[in-house]
Structure 1
Amino acid sequence: MNNPLFYAKILLFGEYGIIEDSQGLTLPYSFYKGSLKFSDLSTEFEKKSNESLKKYSDYLLNLDVPNGFEINVEDFQKDIAKGLFFESTIPQGYGVGSSGALVAAIFEKYSVEKFPAELISKDQLKSLKVVFGILESYFHGKSSGIDPLICYMNLPILIENKESVDKVSIPAEHIGKGAIFLIDSGSVGETGPMVQIFFEKMKTEGFRKTMKEEFIRYNNACIDAFLKKEMTPFFKNLKSLSVWAYEHFKPMIPESIYKIWKKGLDTNAYYLKLCGSGGGGYILGFTKDYAKAEKMLKGFDKEVIYRF
């Protein structure tokens, strides 16, 4: 069996904003990966994964998928009976797309029509996003389809608005002093409750106004400056975004992170932002001087994901 690997994803910018039509920028993250495999299901993990796939395949049987994007559920179920499971190192509840990689792997293997990533047009991307949203809604109740799309394409994706996405090139890495990195908050986050808090906040006019006039403006400006590699406006808008999140996304920031979030803002040594929905899992860090930031963040597990 051909076992293509599906990588985790990182939403660099756009958490919560993409719900309100802001831009988003997301990249594949090859440190974590998953693939469909066969086994005799001798371990507890393999057994559980196989059972989960069985439940998911039952869900797919009654699913209405747009024409041209059908899944061969019969073949999927035959393989499940032969010991199919999803081997994955992607942590769940960390905001790096564990269900997205699974959905992408199943679609790649069992979609009736094939869609090679390198040949996909912008219109097909739009349609695939819708299909992946339907397929992933089993795991989250409601899904934008972005996570599986990133995992499937294995390319950076610019979310232009709610409807439109496009492939994008990010500036090539080079080993400079600066870095984008992940900090492990030490706890698992659950997407559902965090999104619920966000929608509660959106009921107040003041929050809706600041979301539209400030958050989305800073968020989109960060994406624009990053893609153009204009680091001075990038860090200026990043600080505004981090300040805004500290004030308005407090419930989504894990308690273990409060102090270091503020310390970054006070010293300008680094800036933090949510990675996905927050509540736990990873937090994203940005710095012009990683060696300095690393010393200041002693005691926290960190992973560098991009150097500049």
Structure 2
Amino acid sequence: MKGPLFYSKILLFGEYGIIKDSKGLSIPYNFYNGALKVSEESSAKAKESNGHLARYAAYLNELQNKNPDLVHFDIDTLNADIKKGMYFDSSIPQGYGVGSSGALVAAIYDKYATDKITVLENLTREKLLKLKKIFGEMESFFHGKSSGLDPLNSYLSIPILINSKDNIEPAGIPSQTQNGTGAVFLLDSGSTGDTAPMVSIFMENMKQEPFRKMLKTKFVKHTDACVDDFLKGDVKSLFKNVKSLSHVVLDNFKPMIPAKFHKLWKHGIDTNDYYLKLCGSGGGGYILGFTENIEKARKSLKGYNLEVVYNF
């Protein structure tokens, strides 16, 4: 048995900000994917995943008992499949900010939710919000608190525009320019990040008035502008706003940037060769980069592995 594939995602804009109602833009990233699988010979990795799924099934059973109006699962079939050795076969790196748990949540909902909202339906705003709420509860098992956006992206496999917490819609993004010199890329930090501690640092900072003010007047302002510029295809304005956003993150989100990247981050801003921003919650994993000239960025970041995800 092998289930359908669910893809990784990239939150281009909106990390942390969407907790406080900034705009956000999330796109599927088909380079990585995962699927539920049962096979005869199972590796140590498959056994570990199978153990995780058993604990997750118990959590989902609790969730549906606690919140019967929200979601129901065929728990008996899920448990039977887990007993047969089912695991999540995934190429999505964990702790890298590209939605490894989101893809798993989407796969479980797709296969075991009864009376589910399907991708083929007319996806009204109400249905999207309901899915986001369900996925938020389902993914909380992994992160402590989840917006539900990663699984939503993985489940629908379309770009999603977040206007605010209660206003999300499918987004049409400008098609890529083949052979364009501008690019969005992923930079591998070489270490994994853990979402929960990063989010708790952020929540702690939110108790301070100066931080809240900075978030509203700078971080959210530039994030919203970046989303608008990207969707309009206004590349010139986009890079101006991405540079400002990169600066605000370096000044105010230091704990979320791995220490060895502080210099590199600043170098990009000083030279305009590239601009870095957080990919997901930070702390490790991938860092997201924007450049108007990918060859220049490669030279400037020599020795680092750059993965291009979008061309301007």
TM-score of Structure 1 vs Structure 2, range by shorter chain:
over 0.9
Q: Give the direction of change, closer, same or farther, for the CA distance of 1:205–1:95 in structure 2 (3 Å limit).
A: same
Mapped pair 1:263 → 2:267:
yes
Shift of 1:256: 2.2
Shift of 1:69: 3.1
Q: Give the direction of change, closer, same or farther, for the CA distance of 1:185–1:68 in structure 2 (3 Å limit).
A: closer
Q: Within 5 A, what are the aligned runs for 1:133-282? A: 133-175=136-178, 176-282=180-286
Q: 1:299 aligns to what? A: 303
Identity %: 55
Amino acid across the alignment from 1:211? L
For the Cα contact (< 8 Å) 2:2–2:38, is it kept in 1?
A: no
Which of 94, 101, 104 is the aligned partner of 2:103?
Answer: 101
SS for the counterpart of 1:49 is helix
CA–CA separation in structure 1 for the residues paired with 2:237 and 2:45: 47
Amino acid across the alignment from 2:273? A
Question: C-alpha offsets along residues 7-57 of structure 1, whole Å, 9 cap, x if unaligned?
Answer: 011110001101111011001111110000111353111111111111111
Mapped pair 1:39 → 2:43:
no
Segments of structure 2 that go 5 or more residues without pairing to the other structure are none
* Number of residue pairs matched by the alignment: 308
Q: 2:113 aligns to what? A: 111
For the Cα contact (< 8 Å) 1:100–1:136, is it kept in 2?
A: yes
Question: C-alpha offsets along residues 130-184 of structure 1, whole Å, 9 cap, x if unaligned?
Answer: 0011111111111111111111111100111112211001100112111000000
Question: C-alpha offsets along residues 200-224 of structure 1, whole Å, 9 cap, x if unaligned?
Answer: 2111111111110111010000000
SS for the counterpart of 2:54 is helix
SS for the counterpart of 1:125 is helix
Shift of 1:66: 5.0
Segments of structure 1 that go 5 or more residues without pairing to the other structure are none
Amino acid across the alignment from 2:43? T
Question: C-alpha offsets along residues 265-302 of structure 1, whole Å, 9 cap, x if unaligned?
Answer: 00111111000111100000001110111111011111
Amino acid across the alignment from 1:26? S
SS for the counterpart of 1:117 is coil
SS for the counterpart of 1:94 is coil
Q: TM-score, normalised by structure 1?
A: 0.97
CA–CA separation in structure 2 for the residues paired with 1:130 and 1:298: 42
SS for the counterpart of 2:32 is strand
Shift of 1:67: 2.8
For the Cα contact (< 8 Å) 1:41–1:47, is it kept in 2?
A: no
Task: Report which stretch shifted further, 110-119 or 274-283.
Answer: 110-119
Which of 120, 130, 149 is the aligned partner of 1:127?
Answer: 130
SS for the counterpart of 2:89 is strand
CA–CA separation in structure 1 for the residues paired with 2:71 and 2:207: 36
CA–CA separation in structure 2 for the residues paired with 1:171 and 1:22: 21
CA–CA separation in structure 1 for the residues paired with 2:70 and 2:199: 32
Amino acid across the alignment from 1:87? D
SS for the counterpart of 1:280 is coil
Amino acid across the alignment from 1:78? A
Question: C-alpha offsets along residues 103-135 of structure 1, whole Å, 9 cap, x if unaligned?
Answer: 000000011114321422221000000001111
CA–CA separation in structure 2 for the residues paired with 1:306 and 1:232: 16
Shift of 1:65: 3.9
CA–CA separation in structure 2 for the residues paired with 1:25 and 1:108: 23
Shift of 1:80: 1.0
For the Cα contact (< 8 Å) 2:268–2:275, is it kept in 1?
A: yes
For the Cα contact (< 8 Å) 1:17–1:23, is it kept in 2?
A: yes
CA–CA separation in structure 2 for the residues paired with 1:255 and 1:68: 42
Shift of 1:68: 6.4
Q: TM-score, normalised by structure 2?
A: 0.96
For the Cα contact (< 8 Å) 2:54–2:79, is it kept in 1?
A: yes
CA–CA separation in structure 2 for the residues paired with 1:267 and 1:123: 45
CA–CA separation in structure 2 for the residues paired with 1:246 and 1:2: 43
